[in-house]
Structure 1
Amino acid sequence: MAASTHAVTNQAPPLVGYDVFAADRALTEAVDRHLEPGLLDEARAELSALGRTAASAQVLEWGALANENPPKLRTHDRYGHRIDEVEFHPSWHRLLGKGVSAGLTAAWARPGGHVRRAASFIIWTQAEAGNGCPLSMTHAAVPALRTDPELAAEWEPRLTSMVYDRDLRPASRKAGVLFGMGMTEKQGGSDVRANTTVARPLAEDGTYELTGHKWFCSAPMSDGFLVLAQAPGGLTCFLVPRVLDDGTRNVFHIQRLKDKLGNRSNASGEVEFDGTWARRVGDEGRGVRTIIEMVAATRVDCVLGAASLMRQAVAQAVHHCTHREAFGGRLVDKPLMRNVLADLALESEAATTLAMRLAAAYDDATGGSEEERAFLRLAVPAAKYWVTKRCTPTVAEALECLGGNGYVEESGMPRLLRESPLNSIWEGAGNVQALDVLRALQREPAALNAVLTEVGRARGADHRLDAAIKNLLTELADLDAIEARARRVVERLALVLQGSLLVRYAPPEVSDAFCASRLGGDWGASFGTLPHSLGLGTVVERARPVG
């Protein structure tokens, strides 16, 4: 009986076998906008190849398997020797290896490298977000190591390599390495000045012995780690190799892996140092200033990661509603559903556009632009605060567009939802970002000037944007109880940045809807409350991943 009655109808086909890059209009236009013409053809071909791979049935299966089979900690071998190794499913290694070979750790060694890498990051982490962590840490270690030219000369070629080598052996014998980071301790959290890990100088200049713990160590299976510890001269940054030059394992005890809400394919652990050998990076007492370059780069990746999750969630929602029929027609053609989808598409496009602007600024700042460096100082924490905050409600609403189908694990939407809060928490949660913005406003006037110059490029193009800029300036002029208002200030700052970019670069239907809702106040408390008179069908069509 079941065989004769179980005819499956009115179900959307799987969103598979398409080009993730080419289908993303906001991303392709950002790449065209920010890359020099001489790099475009090569970059577009490279990104489309990665886009097709990311949406292939094989890679999507790798992502599912890596999540269903999370990493396991092996503290000892069969003879009782301490090994502290993390065992991953083969699918994890395939995903991570492809990410490395696609250049997601090579931005510093390529022309236009940050824009190309940012686009690749958005594409690749749509297949599985977990492998973004080691890719991000490895990429971000480079600017921190550059504070020590000798260390940078030794390690940077390995970090920017496009070869994935998973074996634990001395870095000098590897074609490519991965890096992790250890800042957080259980008694201090974001307050790293409260760290208690001690660094004792050894006889060889620049070498130390570490004793202490890290409550969160990112990617504990990596070849090296940047960590903070208290040296005689104060809080200092250190490089801890996993394996020493003579082939022996450094003292790096992984006590346990974290059992996390999402990001389950990736390992995060608690580690202990007990006479652990380390090299100093930068001067004693300058640990925060040294490692902050790594933190800034990983915060950009939080924005990229949130944009990636939003794009995949919106693509799934639009795809489903394009194929699903209810109440006499396709869902995508129903006015109320079209309003919801358009609202989601606006959030996704604004996130992608701002994320790619940050990547372009990184390319220019690396090339010596002081104005772009100042722009990043304020724009990065503001974008990190706002874009990552918008990720969870966006993914949750997109899931709801699929109804009960979206609540089922096989749809992939629950995995996106579990992942969605991570980027807001990682590398400093909302209050940390808001306070960082205040510090930049108070101590670095060039940063505010650079951001105001950026948003001012769209002045006069939309009256709602002009009014929002004016209101922001009023907020900034009133320093009374500014800390209590910090979130409001940062939110407005991020929104005028997004509005300015969309007014200049997005189609009129997109910028009009964004300014009317996010800046003009004609927006409700949930998605799907855009003014009905706007060209919402065009906005939704722009977000459709495949025909």
Structure 2
Amino acid sequence: MATHAVVNQAPPRVDVDEYATNTALLEGVERYDAGWAHHQLHLTGQRVGAASFHSDAVAANRVEPVLQTHDRYGNRIDEVEYDESYHRIIGAAIADGAHTSAWAEPRPGANVARAATFMLYAQVEPGHACPVSMTHAVVPVLQQHPDVGEEWLPRVYSRSYDGRLRADKPGALFGMAMTEKHGGSDVRANTTAARPLGGGRYALTGHKWFCSAPMSDAFLVLAQAPGGLSCFLLPRLVDGERNAIRIQRLKDKLGNRANASSEVEYEDAVGILVGEEGRGVRTIIDMVARTRLDCIYGTTAGMRQATAEAAWHARHRAAFGRTLIDQPAMTAVIADLQLETEAATATALRLARAHDEDATASDRAFARLATAVAKYWICKRGPGHAYEALECLGGNGYTEAFPLAMRYREQPVMAVWEGSGNVIALDVLRALGREPEALAAFDAEVALAAGTHPLFDAHLERVRSLVRDVTADPAPEARARGLVSAMALALQASLLLRTAPSIVADAFVATRLGDRPFGGALYGDLPAGTDAGAIAARA
């Protein structure tokens, strides 16, 4: 005799084209000159939407990386073992160019297509995106220093992936190690020492508190040379032998479980000087800037997953005689989650286009400031957004059987990586003081929407007033967060007013810029007259 029947449960959200179902992403790819990539992005969307890919994503986060410091004979090997599911995921992402396609094949919209590819993969499994991002981000450093980059760039551009430690494989992944236990973001306090060996080689000795993706083939590292803090390329293999990079332990992290993050010791590890001694921060800063951009993409991908899963559940679950999506309170929540996702998507793709090779000088100046502004705001919005989407699934959302528990743990890392909130806000302050052309470009971009909505016009004037007041303040640091938040909302609202359907743009402005009690802090509080059903349908 049957004890129960399974009814009123949503089916698994698998075997869908994640690109075709992401209306905001598809529209943005077309808008920013990457329509030529539609076919490949549909193939990627189908790949990451497949049930088998979702199964691999679950396995990669449950069968976590394991550190093997020695082989069975006692030889030091310092290797991290990953489940085969992880290798399948990152191998597919590399094959689709989620790492360096925009560098290897530059053209108008190349960074837009690459951003979309990266986001589609990170939407389903975010852990692998760390080494993918760092490999993308190292390219400008290698390009600027061809004496070092000539050997590595062909391997970085390769779409071949091999997770084994081998000297003869065609592809290579990069990592980065800057922070130390006593310094954190204050990298100039680093104590790792670099002793000259001659011929551009140095012996590095010291400890790094965070080294993500320690199985990468090479790393950019900061260390103190005789001439000051300098940047070095540290390969895993030197002359065919293992470099003296000792993995001490793997971090036990809140989220990002599929990706190994580690502490490492260098015991006279051989590094190659990149740039000049004493200019380490200046050398590595381009890599940092690009990884910050990918933090925006990663958070946006997480928002898309959260919104899509919540909307899927609401469409298939019924309560009190109606499906949840037809309950006005739930419709409002799904619509509001979609507003946040659309704003992040629009910002991410606009920034991607500003990073293309054919970008104007004004676009490049805009990108330098807007990337930091968006990194601060979008990444901070991620955790709260994930929580609200999780709640839409009720008790199911709080279990590990559904993907939003993983996503809730994942989103905070994007706000921490490559500069937490205060670091980014202070970077914005410095940019405002040192780069007037960046502020002018940012203001010009945002002002393109002037006159389209009275609430936006009022907010734009408030932002301009804040910029004047804060930059004139002799102690502006305490006001930095408020300024950056206001700038970010101005940018998002401007982009949506210019590019999104009016139902989306008007609702975003009304909920985020108006004088409503919660100002967009809590989801689902939409003003009367909002077409929540039409907005939710875009999810």
TM score, norm. by length of structure 2: 0.97
Supply the distance in 1 between the matched residues of 2:315 and 2:283 (Cα, whole angstroms).
Answer: 50
Preserved CA contact (<8 Å) 1:523 1:531: no
Supply the distance in 1 between the matched residues of 2:476 and 2:86 (Cα, whole angstroms).
Answer: 45
Supply the distance in 1 between the matched residues of 2:267 and 2:458 (Cα, whole angstroms).
Answer: 58
Q: Which residue of 1 aligns with 2:29?
A: 31
Answering whether residue 457 of structure 2 is matched by residue 463 of structure 1, we say no
1:184 to 179, 186, 205: 179
Supply the distance in 2 between the matched residues of 1:372 and 1:234 (Cα, whole angstroms).
Answer: 34
Deviation at 1:521, TM superposition (A): 2.6
Preserved CA contact (<8 Å) 2:228 2:279: yes
Supply the distance in 2 between the matched residues of 1:370 and 1:255 (Cα, whole angstroms).
Answer: 45
Q: Which residue of 2 aligns with 1:474?
A: 465
Counterpart of 2:197, as a letter, is L
Supply the distance in 2 between the matched residues of 1:211 and 1:441 (Cα, whole angstroms).
Answer: 37
Deviation at 1:337, TM superposition (A): 1.1
Deviation at 1:238, TM superposition (A): 0.4
Preserved CA contact (<8 Å) 1:523 1:529: no
Supply the distance in 1 between the matched residues of 2:16 and 2:305 (Cα, whole angstroms).
Answer: 13
Q: What RMSD in Å do the two structures reach over aligned CA positions? A: 1.0
SS at match of 1:54: helix
Counterpart of 1:459, as a letter, is A
Supply the distance in 2 between the matched residues of 1:528 and 1:79 (Cα, whole angstroms).
Answer: 60
SS at match of 1:484: helix
SS at match of 1:236: strand
SS at match of 1:5: coil
1:6-155 equivalences in 2 (<5 Å)? 6-35=4-33, 40-41=35-36, 43-106=37-100, 107-110=102-105, 111=107, 112-155=109-152
Answering whether residue 534 of structure 2 is matched by residue 538 of structure 1, we say yes
2:236 to 235, 242, 245: 242
Preserved CA contact (<8 Å) 1:339 1:532: no
1:388 to 379, 388, 404: 379
1:39-438 equivalences in 2 (<5 Å)? 40-41=35-36, 43-106=37-100, 107-110=102-105, 111=107, 112-170=109-167, 173-204=168-199, 206-244=200-238, 246-363=239-356, 366-367=357-358, 369-438=360-429
Supply the distance in 1 between the matched residues of 2:359 and 2:324 (Cα, whole angstroms).
Answer: 50
Preserved CA contact (<8 Å) 1:522 1:530: no
Which is further off, 145-154 or 61-70?
Answer: 145-154
SS at match of 1:126: helix
Q: Kindly provide the CA deviation profile for residues 339-389 of structure 1, in whole angstroms up to 9, marking residues without a partner as x.
A: 1111111011101110111111111xx336321221111101110000000
Supply the distance in 2 between the matched residues of 1:501 and 1:293 (Cα, whole angstroms).
Answer: 26
Supply the distance in 1 between the matched residues of 2:308 and 2:359 (Cα, whole angstroms).
Answer: 37
Deviation at 1:465, TM superposition (A): 1.0
Supply the distance in 2 between the matched residues of 1:434 and 1:201 (Cα, whole angstroms).
Answer: 37
SS at match of 1:485: helix
Q: Kindly provide the CA deviation profile for residues 442-468 of structure 1, in whole angstroms up to 9, marking residues without a partner as x.
A: 000011011011011111111111111
Deviation at 1:519, TM superposition (A): 1.1
Supply the distance in 1 between the matched residues of 2:198 and 2:125 (Cα, whole angstroms).
Answer: 45
Supply the distance in 2 between the matched residues of 1:493 and 1:160 (Cα, whole angstroms).
Answer: 35
Preserved CA contact (<8 Å) 1:66 1:91: yes
SS at match of 1:180: strand
Q: Kindly provide the CA deviation profile for residues 30-83 of structure 1, in whole angstroms up to 9, marking residues without a partner as x.
A: 1001125xxx24x10100100011010100000101111000000011111100
Paired residues, number: 531
Supply the distance in 2 between the matched residues of 1:152 and 1:501 (Cα, whole angstroms).
Answer: 37
Supply the distance in 1 between the matched residues of 2:383 and 2:439 (Cα, whole angstroms).
Answer: 29
Counterpart of 1:161, as a letter, is S
Supply the distance in 2 between the matched residues of 1:9 and 1:418 (Cα, whole angstroms).
Answer: 29
Deviation at 1:412, TM superposition (A): 1.3
Supply the distance in 2 between the matched residues of 1:513 and 1:160 (Cα, whole angstroms).
Answer: 42
Preserved CA contact (<8 Å) 2:99 2:118: no
Preserved CA contact (<8 Å) 2:353 2:359: no
SS at match of 2:241: coil
Supply the distance in 2 between the matched residues of 1:320 and 1:212 (Cα, whole angstroms).
Answer: 50
Q: Kindly provide the CA deviation profile for residues 309-333 of structure 1, in whole angstroms up to 9, marking residues without a partner as x.
A: 0100000001111111111111111
Deviation at 1:296, TM superposition (A): 0.4
SS at match of 1:216: strand
Counterpart of 1:486, as a letter, is A
Supply the distance in 1 between the matched residues of 2:443 and 2:403 (Cα, whole angstroms).
Answer: 40
SS at match of 1:200: strand
Supply the distance in 2 between the matched residues of 1:155 and 1:203 (Cα, whole angstroms).
Answer: 21
- Stretches of structure 1 that go unaligned for 5 or more consecutive residues are none
Which is further off, 307-316 or 531-540?
Answer: 531-540
Supply the distance in 1 between the matched residues of 2:162 and 2:308 (Cα, whole angstroms).
Answer: 33
Deviation at 1:522, TM superposition (A): 2.4
Deviation at 1:15, TM superposition (A): 0.7
1:505 to 492, 499, 503: 499
- Stretches of structure 2 that go unaligned for 5 or more consecutive residues are none
Supply the distance in 1 between the matched residues of 2:22 and 2:457 (Cα, whole angstroms).
Answer: 29
Provide the identity percentage. Answer: 55
Counterpart of 1:233, as a letter, is G
Answering whether residue 426 of structure 2 is matched by residue 446 of structure 1, we say no
Counterpart of 1:194, as a letter, is A
TM score, norm. by length of structure 1: 0.96
SS at match of 1:35: coil
Deviation at 1:523, TM superposition (A): 5.2
Supply the distance in 2 between the matched residues of 1:166 and 1:323 (Cα, whole angstroms).
Answer: 40
Counterpart of 1:127, as a letter, is V
Supply the distance in 1 between the matched residues of 2:9 and 2:207 (Cα, whole angstroms).
Answer: 51
Which is further off, 511-520 or 476-485?
Answer: 476-485
